[in-house]
Structure 1
């Protein structure tokens, strides 16, 4: 194996952080209270598992291959999860408005589940969208990459102090992975100001805004309402 091939393989992203996140999101969604459209929930979980299996088969360890089918399946999986969780959020709000009490805390727990799933879903959205997706980001020369949707601190650290600059995109050929997009999603959802990574394109700004709005509704309105119902 040539040195160049070995370096390209090392630069590619591990499959399993994203798979683990999908599994956690599906478990959180499946374990919502039974009043949350159980037939629809289980159908969504079954569909997502059916979409996930061939994706793992194509790239079982590292994200080295992308076909038209794998790209369609990956985007479809993310879209199904995103739509399903937004429907759950709307249903949660309706249930909280109509509820007279929440003595067992089930609605508060459901709010936490929907919020956590929201963070994971938007992490997957950003991961699939930015610079062409996980395979393109790590297998395409930088000068041929699509325009960046998100700017990370590493993208502008090349002129910082030496121990910081060595990890910059320009110096080390650093590329964002799923953990970076999960962190961006989490901080974007929790903060009331832009996090350290910045959305650059209109579509990234719209999606980041939607993710933050959903998180805001849950954290400020939904959880507040659920806590008030505990007594």
Structure 2
């Protein structure tokens, strides 16, 4: 949850023409949702909760929508020639790129084997994503389960390599989600970073 809060704080640092308006709306709503999530489950998740899952998906959806808006505004600004500040483009591109990684890591976290609640309750039979520890029993304890940081790492490597690395997608939804993330990351890398570096003075 700390990673999500820190990522939402970064959205406040976006230039005015790249941020969702009013600028305080997303942080305010997200803080309320995080507080509600902590009230529903203040400790370690040990069982499935429909209320908690709904709040979690709402937070992920908010982060995704705002980041998509920022990315579209940035790409449109570059394509239309209305954005000419290389420094601002680099900062915005970095924030959008990182937020994209966090948003997709949360989608993977929430949907792999039905989400953290179902994984903790043992209600998920087959994995959607295969981590190396699942393929080789000598690499980890037999009851090993991926933590959020495992999904964050997976999302980062997919965004950087534009392909699977050590974690393999087994379900269609996982493959399509990885493909979408790779496309967004590729567009940001090609259009944003290349343009900004070329225009640095």
Give 1:175 deviation, angstroms. 0.5
Normalised TM-score (structure 2): 0.92
SS of equivalent residue, structure 2 residue 10: helix
**Partner Cα distance (2:89, 2:148) in 1:** 30
Give 1:56 deviation, angstroms. 1.3
Task: Give the aligned partner of residue 102 of structure 1.
Answer: 85
Deviates more, 1:20-29 or 1:92-101: 92-101
**Partner Cα distance (2:119, 2:58) in 1:** 19
Unmatched 5+ stretches in structure 1: 1-18, 159-164
**Partner Cα distance (1:37, 1:27) in 2:** 12
Task: Give the aligned partner of residue 172 of structure 1.
Answer: 142
Matched, 1:126 2:99: no
Q: How many correspondences in the alignment? A: 200
Task: Give the aligned partner of residue 114 of structure 1.
Answer: 96
**Partner Cα distance (1:65, 1:145) in 2:** 12
Normalised TM-score (structure 1): 0.81
Task: Give the aligned partner of residue 8 of structure 2.
Answer: 26
Task: Give the aligned partner of residue 230 of structure 1.
Answer: 200
1:204 to 171, 174, 188: 174
**Partner Cα distance (1:100, 1:22) in 2:** 28
SS of equivalent residue, structure 1 residue 35: helix
Matched, 1:221 2:170: no
Deviates more, 1:80-89 or 1:55-64: 55-64
Unmatched 5+ stretches in structure 2: none
- Confirm or deny: 8 A CA contact 1:148 1:200 kept in the other structure: yes
Matched, 1:60 2:42: yes
Which protein is bigger by CA-based radius of gyration? 1
Task: Give the aligned partner of residue 165 of structure 2.
Answer: 195
CA RMSD in angstroms, aligned pairs only: 1.7
Q: Which string of whole-angstrom CA distances, capped at 9 and with x for unpartnered residues, describes residues 151-195 of structure 1?
A: 11111112xxxxxx051xxx4310011000000000000003321
